[in-house]
Amino acid sequence: MAWAYRASLRAITRARGETPLTVLLYHRVLPRADPLRPGEPSAERFEMQLSWLKARFNVISLAEALHGLRCRALPARPLVITFDDGYADNCDLALPILKRLGLKATFFVATGYLDGGVMFNDVVIEAVRQARGEALDLSALGLGTHRVDSEAARRDAIGDLLQRIKYAATAQRAELAQAIAHTAEARVPTNLMMTSEQVAALVAQGMEVGAHTVLHPILKEVDIEVARAEIETGRKRLEQITGAPVRVFAYPNGRPGRDYAMEHVRLVRDLGFDAAVSTAWGTATPGADFYQIPRVAPWDPLLWRFGLRLARTIATRDFATA
């Protein structure tokens, strides 16, 4: 399959018009592969991906990328690395690899989960992981019964449960996740997210920290004033922790039109952020909306498939907006 990647890479080189900016989206880097988190790379896979990227792209900071977009002065094959949510492994595992390779990244942190908190999705994942027997009966919660007698069944159960509760009100979402853990008799982890000291360490090591709200609400599902408070409060907390201005924002969940609307784009702009990133799949060029910069998630476990998908995305410049 190397020929397919090389053909796509040549297409990027010959691409007409402006240089496309690619922004990668990670969440976690794990000590080892986890069958219940197949989209999250192990430290070994992450280092392989980054080494591969460094050899083929100009990996730059988000701040450098924004300047390049404004001035139409991006280098050839520009690429930015970002992380969402604020997991402790970002500091423990990803940061040493980034430093070893001489690369920068931006970390978007939801401040409400720092210092011992846990996100609802992680509660659900760990509850299903620890569930005993052949099935997890959640019918009393209105969530049905789910088979847990194989890794594939557990993955299916996790996907279904997360989809069912993701768009619930923030407090209800957390309560449902905890109820699932209680039913499964599961221990809820308290060490998955960064401490305030780790967030400060990222900035001290030359990385950038961006805002990602406090409790990661789906912005379209809350009142606009609640959205404003979530964005402003999260930003102020990060500035207190790091002693540095927070200039960029990531929309929780991030799908344009489904998870946030144009009123939220205007809100982020009016609050004085320099830019915001979404989870729309694609690349950005000069003239793109700085408050809806798309990203690409490196889900593919095989390096050649990762490269091929990345090359095709850059060549086609797929782009979505709210």
List CB contacts of 14: < 8 A, sequence separation 6 or more: none
> Between the CA of residue 55 and those of 26, 103, 194, what are the distances in Å?
19, 12, 30
Q: How would you write 64-129 as a 3-class SS string?
A: HHHHHHHHCCCCCCEEEEEEEECEHHHHHHHHHHHHHHCCCCEEEECHHHCCCCCCHHHHHHHHHH
Characterize the bridge pairing of strands 58-59 and 135-137: unpaired
| SS3 of residue 305 by DSSP | helix
Pairing outcome for strands 78-85 and 106-109 = parallel
Checking phi first, is residue 25 left (phi over 0); if not, alpha (psi -120 to 50) or beta? beta
pLDDT below 50 — which residues of the chain?
A: 1, 3-4, 11, 13-16, 318-322
Question: Could you report the per-residue pLDDT of 166-179, keeping only the tens digit for each?
Answer: 999 999 999 999 99
CA 137 vs. chain centroid, Å, equals 31
Q: What is the pLDDT of residue 17?
A: 55
Q: Is the pTM of this model over 0.85?
A: yes
Instruction: Report the pLDDT value the prediction gives residue 304, as an integer from 0 to 100.
Output: 74
pLDDT score at 6:
56
Q: Tell me the domains of the chain and their CATH numbers.
A: 2-116+191-316 (3.20.20.370), 120-183 (no CATH)
pLDDT digits (tens, 9 = 90+) for 109-160: 999 999 999 999 999 999 999 999 999 999 999 999 999 999 999 999 999 9
Q: Report how far Cα 128 is from the mean position of its chain's Cα atoms.
A: 22
Q: CB 295: neighbour CB atoms within 10 A?
A: 22
Cα torsion 281, 215, 238, 51: sign: negative
